[in-house]
Structure 1
Amino acid sequence: MKKSYIFGIIVIAAAIMMIVSTAGDASSYVTFKDAHDMAVEGNDNKIHVVGQLKKNTAGEIVGLHPSDDKLSFTFLMVDENGMEQEVFYNEPMPADFKRSEQVVVIGGFQQGMFVADKILMKCPSKYQEETVI
């Protein structure tokens, strides 16, 4: 067997091992109900929950409570099924958090509250077309 064939087999085997090892760390998109059920079953994998910040009729965020030292905060989020859940984030509030249209929180349930390790935001685009009257 040629050395190039052996080298190619080793490279392919290494690539397959990397794919398999990272597939176990991949998190999935679920609702708050599914995330809660997973936590009750003992599954502590990091998961993604997609939703929007709960806002009142004036467009203000409801349930936003920064800590006294401004190093963490809690907020209410509504997932795609309409379930409302309090989310805790142990980092300072990201810039433009209040302007975000959609939020993805990555984390899991701990003691009845969703604890986010990371927050991804979709902010309104300045490139969206506006209707001209």
Structure 2
Amino acid sequence: MKKTHIIGLIIIAIAVAILVSTGTEASTYVDFSVAENMAKTGDKDQVHVVGKLKKDATGNIQDLVYNPTLDANHLEFMLIDNNGREQKVVYNAPKPQDMGRAEQMVIIGNMDGNVFKCEKILLKCPSKYQDGKVEFKEAKPEKQS
């Protein structure tokens, strides 16, 4: 066999291995009802759920449990999926920095009893570009010595 054939076969084998490995990690977008049904049937695959935080009229997050002095790696909150179902979510990692500003969020995990165990949170924060205007932060002048 020629060296070019061997190199070509190696490249094809690597490409197939990458496709197979990424295909097994893929999860789907569902609502809390589907995630609950999957858990009841024994399906432990992770899913993506899109939703909004439960907030009051002033924009404060309701039912948020986070005490970093007690346990910085434990966060509980209520999320409302796109079908309007409220669900308690438990995230065993530090609270995301701009969580309160998020318009929507995607949580990745699975149902565990009456709680959605979240492994990862993706936030969709308000756009910096609103009404065609770009927001700029004013630079502070540097102090000269």
- Name the TM-score class by shorter chain: 0.7 to 0.9
Change (3 A) 1:9 1:130: closer
Gapped regions of structure 1 (runs ≥ 5): none
AA aligned opposite 1:63:
D
Gapped regions of structure 2 (runs ≥ 5): 134-145
Q: Count residues in correspondence.
A: 131
Counterpart of 2:78 (choices 76, 79, 88) is: 76
Q: Cα distance, 1:130 vs. partner? A: 6.8
Q: Match of 2:39? A: 39
Runs of 4+ in 1 over 6 A off after TM superposition: none
Q: Cα distance, 1:70 vs. partner? A: 4.5
Q: Cα distance, 1:42 vs. partner? A: 1.1
AA aligned opposite 1:108:
N
Distance across 2 between alignment mates of 1:60 and 1:75: 12
Q: Match of 1:112? A: 114
Deviations 1:36-67 (A, max 9, x none): 11111111122111111111222222211214
CA RMSD, 1 decimal: 1.8
Q: Match of 2:61? A: 61
AA aligned opposite 1:101:
E
Distance across 1 between alignment mates of 2:124 and 2:62: 18
Identity %: 46
* SS at structure 2 position matched to 1:33: helix
Distance across 2 between alignment mates of 1:110 and 1:80: 20
Q: Match of 1:21? A: 21
* Range with greater deviation from structure 2 (64-73 or 50-59): 64-73
Please identify the structure whose Cα radius of gyration is greater.
2
